[in-house]
Amino acid sequence: MKNYTKLANCIRFLSIDAVEKAKSGHPGMPMGMADIATVLFHDFLIHNPKDPNWLLRDRFVLSNGHGSMLLYSLLYLTGYKKLTISQIKNFRQLGYITAGHPEYEPDAGIEITTGPLGQGISNAVGMAIALKKLSKEKKLSKAPKVYVFCGDGCLMEGISQEAISLAGHLKLNNLILIYDNNNISIDGPTDLAFSDNTNLRFKSVNWEVHSGKGHDHENIYKLLKKVQISKVPCLLNFKTTIGFGSPNKSAKASSHGSPLGSEEVKLTRSKLSWNEKPFQIPDKLLKIWRNSSTKNLQIYKKTKSISHTTLSNKDIDKLFSKIEIDLKDFKSDQATRKSSEAILHYFKEDHPILGGSADLTGSNNTKGKQMSVLDSMNTAGQYIHYGVREHGMAAIMNGIAATKIYKTYSGTFLSFADYMKPSLRLAALMKINPIQVFTHDSIGLGEDGPTHQPIEQINMLRLIPNSYVFRPCDLKETIVCWREALKIKDAPSFICLSRQNLPQISNKKLDSKKFKGAYVIYGPKINNDITIIATGSEVPLAVNVAVRIRGDGIIAKVISMPSTSVFEKQSKTFNNNLLKSKSSETFVIEAGSTMYWNKYTKYENIFGLDNFGASAPGNEVFRKFGLTTEIISNKIIRKIKTK
Ligand SMILES: Cc1ncc(C[n+]2csc(CCOP(=O)(O)OP(=O)(O)O)c2C)c(N)n1
Ligand SMILES: [Mg+2]
C-alpha cells in the first residue's frame, strides 16, 4: 500500500496554506476528508487530468462546496493543467478559477458549481442518470461512476431527500455518496439540530449502506472496493474528524470556516510532521500524485474516441421548419401548453433529449408520444417521471445539463417555480441550458385559486441574470420559443404556457426567421398614437383593446413580446423604434406583478396585478382584477383624451 498519510497531508497543507494566505476559507473539511479523497483518487476514480473532457470519465462532485480547497488541491496534485500552483496561491482572488466555492469549469476538472448545500448531491443524481443512459445507448458493459462528497449540512437540506429517493427508485448503481460524518456544522455539534439515523434513512429509499472509519486507509479502500459492483446507489458513511491534525481545533466548529491562524498552523505542521514551506510539495510526493491516474490509461485509450451527438442549430432549424410548415394551417383555439405538446411529438427516439415532469405530465403536456419512460429497467428512456420533487428535479436537471450529453427539459406549474429557484439560479450561474416548461402561467388557470396562480414568479425568473424567459401567445409563437430555447447553449430557459385556450393570432405577423423577442402583432408600425405591449395570454386581450379604442380615434400598435430576454438583447435603436409612438405613451398588459415593467413605462400605464388571485373561473378572475377589454380600453381612452 502507498503511504497514504503523506499523500493526504499534501491536500491538508495546500488547503491550510491557501486559506491562511487568503485570510478566509474553510480548512476543516479538506483536513477531515483528505484521507478518503486520497484513496479515492489513487485507487478508484477513473479520470485523465490530461483530457478533462473525456466523455467516459468518472465524475467527482464536492457537494459540501465550502471545502473547495480539497478539490483544488486534488486537481493540482493530479495534474490538471489549468489548476496551477499559482491558482492555489491565489485562492479566492479575482480572476482565478480557485473561487471561494467551486465554480463549474469542466476544462479544469470542476464538474459543477457547489456551495448552496444539498445541490451537489442532487446534481450527481442527474449526472448518474445521464451516464447510465449514455452507457446503455453505447452498449458499454458499465457506466462511469459519480462519486459525491457531502457533509452534515447537505443531508440536513430537504433537497437531498428528494434526490436520494429518486436515485434509489431508479437504482442508480453508478452513484456513490461519501458522507463526511464529523458531527460538526457551523453552530457547533450537529446534535443541536440533527438526530437522524442516516443509515436507516438511506436504506429506506433502497440504497446500499456501509459505515466506515474515515482516517483508516485500509478500511476506506475496502469499502470503496465493495461498492464497485453494487446493484443500487451506495452510501459510505465515514466517521471523520473535522480539522484532522490541528491540535487545538480538530473536532471543533472553529476549524470549519476560518484560517487556523499562524500559531495553530505551526502546531499542526509539527503534529503531522510536515516540514515543508507553504505551498511546497516534495517532488517525491508530487510524482506519486501525478502518476495516480496512469492506472486509467488503458481504459482511456480504449474509450477516448467514443463521443456523443448533440442537436446542432442546423438540425434544430430543420426540424422546426418542418413543424412550422406542418402546423401552419392550425386555426382552432388551443392552450399554449397543448401547442407545446404538439411540438414535442416531433422529437425522435434517437434525439439526445431527456424530458420529464414533476408528476404533472398530463397537465404540463410535456411527453412526446414516442418518448419511452426512463426507469430502472429502461435506463436509455427519454422521459423521467420525477415524482412530486420540483427542487430535486431542477437540481437533477442541472446535473444532466452539466454533462452536456443531453438537452434536458421538464415541467411543473409556474407557481411552483419558487420551489426550484435555488437550482434555476445555479443553472444560470453555471451557464448551462436546462429548459423548464412552466404551465398554468397566470390567474387564467382559474378555479385552482391563488395558491396555484402565479403572480410574481415570471418576474422572479426575469430577474435571474443569464436566463431566458419565454411566454408565447399561440402555437406559432410557441414553436419559435421552443426553437430558440433549444438553441441556447449557455443559459437556462423558462417557457411559460397557458392552461386556458387561446386564439391563433400571430400567423401573418410573426416573421419566425427573424425572431427578436418582440414584434408588431396589430396596428400600424409607424405613426401610431400609443403602444401596447403584451405577453402570452394577454396578447389577444391587447389586440381587442386596440380594436376597441380605434372607435374613439386612438390608433394603437400592439407589441407581442414573447421574450423580454431576447428583446432586451437587441440594439437600442431597434427597441426604441419598435416601441415608439406619437404620444410616447406605452401601456403594458400582463397578468402578473407590475414591477418589472417599470422600465418600459410608468406605473399607472401597467395593467397587471400586485395581489394574489382568486378561486373562480379564469375569466371572472381576470374581470375581478380589471383585466378586460372594456376596463382597460376605458382607462386608456380617459388617459389619452385628458392629456
Ligand atoms: C443552503 C445553504 N445554507 C447554508 C449555508 C451556509 N453553510 C455553509 S457550510 C455550513 C455548515 C455545514 O455543515 P457541514 O456540512 O457539516 O460542514 P462541515 O462543517 O462538517 O465542513 C453552512 C450552514 C450554505 N452554504 N448553503
Ligand atoms: Mg459536518
- Could you report the per-residue pLDDT of 25-78, keeping only the tens digit for each? 999 999 999 999 999 999 999 999 999 999 999 999 999 999 999 999 999 999
Nearest Cα neighbor of 36 from 216, 262, 248 is 216
Nearest Cα neighbor of 122 from 164, 62, 153, 169 is 164
Q: Residues near ligand 1 with C-beta < 6 Å?
A: 28-29, 64, 66-67, 115-117, 151-154, 157, 180, 182, 184-186, 242, 256
Catalytic residue among 103, 105, 162, 390: 390
Ligand 1, atom nearest to 422 Cα: 1
Mutate to test the pocket of ligand 1, among 29, 63, 66, 113 (most ligand atoms within 8 A of CB): 66
User: Which tens digit of pLDDT belongs to each residue from 109-128?
Assistant: 999 999 999 999 999 999 99
Cα 303 vs. chain centroid, distance in angstroms? Answer: 28
390 catalytically annotated: yes
Mutate to test the pocket of ligand 1, among 64, 71, 114, 117 (most ligand atoms within 8 A of CB): 117
What pLDDT does residue 642 have?
87
Span from the CA of 117 to the centroid of ligand 1 (angstroms):
6
Asked whether the predicted pLDDT for residue 579 surpasses 90, the reply is: yes
Ligand (nearest to CA of 33): 1
Q: How many whole angstroms separate alpha carbon 438 and alpha carbon 517? A: 18
Mutate to test the pocket of ligand 1, among 24, 64, 113, 149 (most ligand atoms within 8 A of CB): 64
Span from the CA of 198 to the centroid of ligand 2 (angstroms):
13
Task: State the average pLDDT over residues 153-173.
Answer: 98
CA dihedral for 388, 392, 394, 396, sign (positive or negative):
negative
Whose CA is closest to atom 21 on ligand 1? 29
Task: State the average pLDDT over residues 562-573.
Answer: 98
**In Å, how far are 185, 203, 292, 468, 471 from 566, measured between CA atoms?**
43, 47, 47, 7, 11
Span from the CA of 190 to the centroid of ligand 2 (angstroms):
7
Q: How many whole angstroms separate alpha carbon 271 and alpha carbon 231? A: 42
- One-character DSSP codes across 162-225: HHHHHHHHTT-TTEEEEEEE-SEETTEEGGGT----HHHHHHHTT-EEEEEETT-HHHHHHHHH
Span from the CA of 391 to the centroid of ligand 1 (angstroms):
18
- One-character DSSP codes across 386-426: --S-HHHHHHHHHHHHHHTSSEEEEEEEGGGGGGGHHHHHH
Ligand 1, atom nearest to 152 Cα: 16
Whose CA is closest to atom 8 on ligand 1? 66
Ligand (nearest to CA of 150): 1
Q: How many whole angstroms separate alpha carbon 462 and alpha carbon 424? A: 11
Q: How many whole angstroms separate alpha carbon 40 and alpha carbon 34? A: 10
Kindly report, as residue ranges, where domains of CATH 3.40.50.920 are found in the chain: 516-641
Q: How many whole angstroms separate alpha carbon 134 and alpha carbon 401? A: 13
Cβ atoms of 322 and 458 within 8 Å: the answer is no
**In Å, how far are 327, 366, 479 from 483, measured between CA atoms?**
14, 15, 6
Cβ atoms of 527 and 434 within 8 Å: the answer is no
For residue 110, the 8-state DSSP code is B
Res. 155 pLDDT band, cuts 50 70 90: very high
Indicate the length of the chain as a whole number: 643
CA dihedral for 147, 149, 152, 157, sign (positive or negative):
negative
313-496 is a CATH 3.40.50.970 domain = yes
Nearest Cα neighbor of 169 from 374, 420, 472 is 374
* CATH architecture classification, 4-303: 3-Layer(aba) Sandwich (3.40)
Span from the CA of 116 to the centroid of ligand 1 (angstroms):
8
Mutate to test the pocket of ligand 1, among 185, 239, 249, 426 (most ligand atoms within 8 A of CB): 185
Cβ atoms of 482 and 343 within 8 Å: the answer is yes
Ligand 1, atom nearest to 28 Cα: 21
Q: How many whole angstroms separate alpha carbon 92 and alpha carbon 76? A: 16
Asked whether the predicted pLDDT for residue 351 surpasses 90, the reply is: yes
Ligand (nearest to CA of 120): 1
Asked whether the predicted pLDDT for residue 643 surpasses 90, the reply is: no
Kindly report, as residue ranges, where domains of CATH 3.40.50.970 are found in the chain: 4-303, 313-496
Task: State the average pLDDT over residues 462-486.
Answer: 98
Ligand (nearest to CA of 158): 1
Ligand 1, atom nearest to 150 Cα: 15
For residue 32, the 8-state DSSP code is H
What pLDDT does residue 80 have?
98
Work out the number of other CB atoms within 10 angstroms of the CB of residue 156: 15
516-641 is a CATH 3.40.50.920 domain = yes
For residue 147, the 8-state DSSP code is E
For residue 22, the 8-state DSSP code is H
For residue 537, the 8-state DSSP code is T
What pLDDT does residue 1 have?
62
Span from the CA of 19 to the centroid of ligand 1 (angstroms):
17
Q: How many whole angstroms separate alpha carbon 428 and alpha carbon 468? A: 9
What proportion of the chain, given as a percentage, has pLDDT over 70? 100
Q: How many whole angstroms separate alpha carbon 184 and alpha carbon 403? A: 32
Span from the CA of 112 to the centroid of ligand 1 (angstroms):
17
